[in-house]
Amino acid sequence: MTTTPNPGIFASLLDPAQRADPYPLYAQIREQGPIRLGNTPVVVLSAYRDCAAVLRDRAASVERHHASIPMGPTPVHDLAGTLSSELSGTASMLFRDPPDHTRLRRLVAKAFTPTVVRGLEPRITAITDAALDRAAERGELDLVQDLAYPLPITVICELLGVPLRDEPQLRRWSTLLARALDPVSATTAGRTEATTMVRANNELHEYFEQLVRHRRTRPSNDLLSALIAAEESTDTLTHDELISTCALLLIAGHETTVNLIANTALALLRPGHRHQLADLGAAPAFTGAVIEESLRYDPPVQLVPRIARDAITLPNIDIATGDLIVMLIAAANRDPDVFTEPDRYDPARGDRHLAFGLGQHFCLGAPLARLEATVALTRFARRVHNPRLACGQIAYREHVTLRGPARLPLTFTSIAPATRPDGHAEPAL
């Protein structure tokens, strides 16, 4: 174990200069082994073996009240805090241990099984094609703004029953709340930002309160109506849990998938990988392998926190009850003890990554994210001819926990019309 009296190495994760390529820094952190930040009850894990063990360990809680330090923007959180306790919304499954976690997850799990999700493929294809048609009409394509973002936000809004016309407002709240997953700075700027996040969270919750009031009187065939029915007819869902679940599904359902689509496209648009992009269009079976390798190589969620509610012993560190554990899953995904030449992008490796987590909080939306990415990238590869990056420097979103480009403007020679499996052009939506 390394104890860092000067925890600068971890603090540098917050440095905007790291956004373009945090992987050399992750490698430095990983080489030090498990790190305890000075005298604080904060532990940073970056080896695959350690992260996988803690993700599976029932002593590793997601409930913030187990923390021995207050979880808010206090000085120690300069390095490793999250705002979660300040925010309402912690009633969702993501912040609950069993038995509450089991009860809440079971309520929505059936909407996200691989079989149910497969049924969404025609709609996901139609949304993707409509997005590419709009880009073809304009003669311009920013892969993030025109495809990677509109697809998952449309899908999750339709599933939940959230009107898509409210998207601009939802986007603003969601962007701010995604920042609440980051370690925050206790500087004045950090505190101001914290206030903005708390306000955004309150506004999003008030938005869902209004939507629930409206939908109670006019139920529909959507997840929101199903959750309202569960709240009304049984004692398995409180009102607070209903609202928090909606907010979680909305944010988790798109903030991550946008990055998976964009990070994958980016990997394949880089010199040396364009043949793989061509194979994507020609050989759909190859697409799954490409997506799994992108999840390993450049995961949309870079770190995941836990609190030790009991002591946890790992080979090189003893974690005490109440310690905050920060798991750098993006570092674990490039652990040379598990992956040969981990910095090489190689779709032939298989899917042994931690990008969706592990154990009981394993991502509920993984089948949906995989399907959306498969459809988006396959249609992109088939329809967009000779795509090239139109920018030298990639502008990344400012988030630390969630990682993906803010924009990916492309040049291309043409965008082919959408075709049905029988080879005929699809009608535009």
- Segment contacting ligand HEM (CB under 6 A): 123-131, 255-263, 310-318, 384-392? 255-263
Nearest Cα to Cα of residue 230 among 239, 175, 221: 239
Q: Which of 25, 148, 228, 304 binds ligand HEM (CB under 6 A)?
A: 304
Position 253 contacts ligand HEM (CB under 6 A): yes
CA quadruple 26, 29, 34, 40: dihedral sign:
negative
Closest separation in Å from C-beta 306 to ligand HEM: 7
Chain positions 48 to 67 lying near ligand HEM, rule: CB under 6 A, are: 62
Smaller CB separation from ligand HEM, 299 or 347: 299
Position 301 contacts ligand HEM (CB under 6 A): yes
**Residues near 395 by beta carbon (within 8 Å), at least 6 away in sequence:** 405, 406, 407
Beta-bridge mates of residue 410 = 141, 389
Closest separation in Å from C-beta 401 to ligand HEM: 10
Closest separation in Å from C-beta 108 to ligand HEM: 7
- Segment contacting ligand HEM (CB under 6 A): 2-10, 21-29, 282-290, 293-301? 293-301
Query: What Å distances lie between residue 219 and 108, 393, 401, CA to CA?
Result: 17, 48, 36
Position 147 contacts ligand HEM (CB under 6 A): no
Closest separation in Å from C-beta 307 to ligand HEM: 11
* Token pair listed for 270: 């880089």
H or E element that contains 252: helix 239-255
The residue type of 417 is P
Phi then psi for residue 122, to 5 deg, are -60, -40
Position 357 contacts ligand HEM (CB under 6 A): yes
Position 141 contacts ligand HEM (CB under 6 A): no
CB atoms within 10 A of CB 157: 20
Closest separation in Å from C-beta 49 to ligand HEM: 17
Q: How many residues bind ligand HEM (CB under 6 A)?
A: 24
* Token pair listed for 403: 């990682």
Q: Which residue has the tokens 């009031």?
A: 213
Q: Which of 43, 147, 252, 410 binds ligand HEM (CB under 6 A)?
A: 252
Phi then psi for residue 325, to 5 deg, are -110, 120
Q: How many helices (H) and strands (E) in the chain?
A: 18, 13
Position 404 contacts ligand HEM (CB under 6 A): no
Position 256 contacts ligand HEM (CB under 6 A): yes
Closest separation in Å from C-beta 263 to ligand HEM: 9
Query: In angstroms, rounded to a whole number, what is the distance separating the alpha carbons of residues 21 and 262?
Result: 15
Chain positions 257 to 286 lying near ligand HEM, rule: CB under 6 A, are: 257, 260
- Segment contacting ligand HEM (CB under 6 A): 114-122, 210-218, 294-302, 311-319? 294-302
Q: Which of 157, 224, 368, 384 binds ligand HEM (CB under 6 A)?
A: 368
Chain positions 209 to 248 lying near ligand HEM, rule: CB under 6 A, are: 248
Q: Which of 176, 328, 369, 408 binds ligand HEM (CB under 6 A)?
A: 369
Q: Which residue has the tokens 């936000």?
A: 153
Query: In angstroms, rounded to a whole number, what is the distance separating the alpha carbons of residues 231 and 240?
Result: 10
Q: Which of 307, 355, 377, 408 binds ligand HEM (CB under 6 A)?
A: 355
The residue type of 47 is A
Query: What Å distances lie between residue 281 and 22, 339, 351, 366, 377, CA to CA?
Result: 30, 27, 21, 22, 8
Closest separation in Å from C-beta 254 to ligand HEM: 7
Residue pair 32/57 in contact (Cβ under 8 Å)? The answer is no
Applying CB under 6 A, which residues contact ligand HEM?
A: 62, 93-94, 105, 248-249, 252-253, 256-257, 260, 299-301, 304, 355-357, 361, 363-365, 368-369
